[in-house]
C-alpha cells in the first residue's frame, strides 16, 4: 500500500473513530488541527500547506508502524464527478468492435474510422461527465458486497483527482492550480443496469449501475500533487493475481486540466471533491469475466500505492 512519495495523507481507524494521519514510508503519525493549521481535512485542502506537514516528518516520537493501523478512505468528498469514455485506445476498441459486427467494414477499416472519431472528439469535443454518490466512497478495509440482483458487477481502476482550492469556471491553463492531490478509485459498475430496458430512449442509468453501497473503493493514500505527474502514470489491476488492466494516463482523450475545466463550468468543485478520470481497457466486460464471491482485486497506480479490495456475495436478508 505504500507510496514512493516523500509523504502522503491517510485516514485510519481508532476504535469507533477515524483520524487523519501523515504517512511516511511504512510509518504513520496522527494529525490534529494544530498540526494541520486547519479545522479539518477539507479545510486544509482548500489551501494546502504541504511544507507545514513536511516539517512534521522529523518528529520521531509520534510515529506508529503503518501495519499496526487500519486505513480507510483518505478523503471525505462532498461531490464525486466521473469522466466516461476517456481512454482513447479503450474507446477505439469498443467502437471498432461495434462497427465490425454491425457494418461491412473490415476490422482495419473499423479501427481507422473509430480512431478518427476519437481524434475529432479530442480536438473539438467536450469531456463526458456523470455524478456518483459520496456515500459510496469507502476504504479498501470494507469488503465489496456484490448485490444479489445481478451477476455482472465489473471493475474500473481509475486515477482520481482530489480538488484543493475551489474551482468554478476555470480555464484549462489554470485548472491544475486547483489540484491538491491524487488517489486511487475502483469505479464498480453493474453492467446490466447501465442501459434502461423499460424505455431505451432514456439512455443510461448511472444511478443504479454505479451507486450501490461501497461501489467506490478509494485510497488508501492521498498523495500531494507535487509528487505525482498525473498525465503520465501507469495503472494496473490484477484479479486474483491475474493482470486484467494495464494502462497509462498518457492515453487520456481529455487530460486532467481539460477535465477540471470542463467539470467546473457547471458547478463549483469543492475542496476534497473527487474527479475520476476514466478507466483503461481490460475491465470485466472485455474479458467476459465479472466479479464473484471471494475475488480479490489489487489495483496500483504509479506513486500512489496499492489498493486491495475483497469481494463477498450479498447475504440473504433475515426473515
DSSP 8-state code for residue 192: G
Higher pLDDT, 98 or 5: 5
User: In angstroms, rounded to a whole number, what is the distance separating the alpha carbons of residues 292 and 215?
Assistant: 14
The pLDDT assigned to 204 comes to 86
Please choose, from the candidates 208, 188, 213, 81, the residue with its C-alpha nearest in 3D space to the C-alpha of residue 135: 213
Interval 198-216 mean pLDDT: 90
pLDDT over 90 at 196, yes or no: no
Residue 41: band (very low, low, confident or very high) from pLDDT cuts 50, 70, 90? very high
Output the CA–CA distances (angstroms, integers) from residue 121 to 65, 92, 147, 158, in the order listed. Answer: 48, 12, 35, 21
pLDDT over 70 at 101, yes or no: no
What domains are defined for the chain?
8-72 (no CATH), 80-86+127-313 (3.90.850.10), 87-126 (no CATH)
pLDDT over 60 at 210, yes or no: yes
Residue 103: band (very low, low, confident or very high) from pLDDT cuts 50, 70, 90? confident
Give SS3 for 183.
strand
Higher pLDDT, 206 or 91: 206
Neighbouring CB atoms inside 10 A of 136's CB total 19
pLDDT digits (tens, 9 = 90+) for 159-181: 999 999 999 999 999 999 999 99
Output the CA–CA distances (angstroms, integers) from residue 298 to 1, 251, 308, in the order listed. Answer: 10, 21, 5
The pLDDT assigned to 292 comes to 98
Residue 97: band (very low, low, confident or very high) from pLDDT cuts 50, 70, 90? low
The pLDDT assigned to 2 comes to 67
Grid look-up 462532498 returns: 78
pLDDT over 80 at 212, yes or no: yes
Interval 15-40 mean pLDDT: 96
pLDDT over 60 at 91, yes or no: yes
pLDDT digits (tens, 9 = 90+) for 236-259: 999 999 999 999 999 999 999 999
Describe the strand order of the beta sheet including 64-65 as a list of residue ranges. Answer: 64-65, 27-30, 17-24, 8-14, 70-72
pLDDT over 60 at 319, yes or no: no
Interval 109-117 mean pLDDT: 82
Residue 99: band (very low, low, confident or very high) from pLDDT cuts 50, 70, 90? low
User: In angstroms, rounded to a whole number, what is the distance separating the alpha carbons of residues 43 and 201?
Assistant: 42
Output the CA–CA distances (angstroms, integers) from residue 301 to 139, 238, 249, 274, in the order listed. Answer: 16, 12, 10, 16
The pLDDT assigned to 102 comes to 66
For residues 178 and 167, the answer to whether their CB atoms sit within 8 Å is yes
Positive or negative torsion for Cα 56, 57, 62, 65: positive
The pLDDT assigned to 88 comes to 84
Name 104's Cβ contacts closer than 8 Å, sequence gap at least 6. Answer: none
pLDDT digits (tens, 9 = 90+) for 229-242: 999 999 999 999 99
The pLDDT assigned to 38 comes to 97
Whole-prediction pTM:
0.93
Is it true that the peptide bond before 220 is cis, omega within 30 degrees of 0? yes
The pLDDT assigned to 62 comes to 86
For residues 214 and 5, the answer to whether their CB atoms sit within 8 Å is no
Average pLDDT, the chain: 93
Amino acid at each position: 500500500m505504500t507510496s514512493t512519495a516523500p509523504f502522503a495523507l491517510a485516514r485510519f481507524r481508532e476504535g469507533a473513530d477515524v483520524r487523519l494521519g501523515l504517512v511516511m514510508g511504512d510509518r504513520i503519525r496522527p494529525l490534529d488541527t494544530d498540526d494541520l493549521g486547519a479545522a479539518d481535512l477539507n479545510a486544509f485542502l482548500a489551501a494546502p500547506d504541504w511544507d507545514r506537514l513536511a516539517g512534521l516528518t522529523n518528529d520521531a516520537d509520534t510515529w506508529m508502524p503503518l501495519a499496526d493501523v487500519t486505513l480507510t478512505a483518505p478523503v471525505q468528498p462532498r461531490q464525486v464527478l466521473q469522466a466516461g469514455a476517456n481512454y482513447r485506445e479503450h474507446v477505439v476498441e469498443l467502437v471498432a468492435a461495434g462497427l465490425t459486427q454491425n457494418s461491412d467494414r473490415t476490422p482495419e477499416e473499423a479501427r481507422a474510422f473509430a480512431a478518427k472519431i476519437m481524434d475529432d472528439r479530442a480536438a473539438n469535443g467536450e469531456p463526458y461527465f456523470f455524478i456518483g454518490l459520496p456515500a459510496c466512497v469507502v476504504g479498501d478495509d470494507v469488503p465489496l458486497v456484490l448485490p444479489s440482483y445481478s451477476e455482472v458487477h465489473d471493475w474500473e481502476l481509475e486515477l482520481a483527482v482530489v480538488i484543493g482550492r475551489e474551482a468554478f469556471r476555470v480555464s484549462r491553463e489554470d485548472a491544475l492550480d486547483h489540484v491538491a492531490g491524487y488517489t486511487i478509485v475502483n469505479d464498480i459498475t453493474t453492467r446490466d443496469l447501465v442501459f434502461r430496458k423499460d424505455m431505451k430512449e432514456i439512455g443510461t442509468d448511472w444511478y443504479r449501475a454505479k451507486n450501490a453501497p461501497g461501489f467506490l473503493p478509494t485510497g488508501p493514500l492521498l498523495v500531494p500533487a507535487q509528487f505525482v505527474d498525473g498525465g503520465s502514470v501507469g495503472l494496473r489491476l490484477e484479479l486474483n493475481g491475474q493482470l486484467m488492466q494495464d494502462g497509462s494516463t498518457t492515453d487520456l482523450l481529455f487530460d486532467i486540466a481539460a477535465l477540471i475545466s470542463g467539470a467546473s463550468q457547471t458547478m463549483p468543485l469543492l475542496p476534497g471533491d473527487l474527479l475520476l478520470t476514466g478507466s483503461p481497457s481490460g475491465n470485466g466486460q472485455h474479458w467476459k469475466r465479472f466479479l464473484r464471491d471471494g475475488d480479490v482485486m489489487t489495483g496500483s497506480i504509479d506513486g500512489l500505492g496499492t489498493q486491495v479490495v475483497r469481494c463477498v456475495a450479498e447475504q440473504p436478508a433475515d426473515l
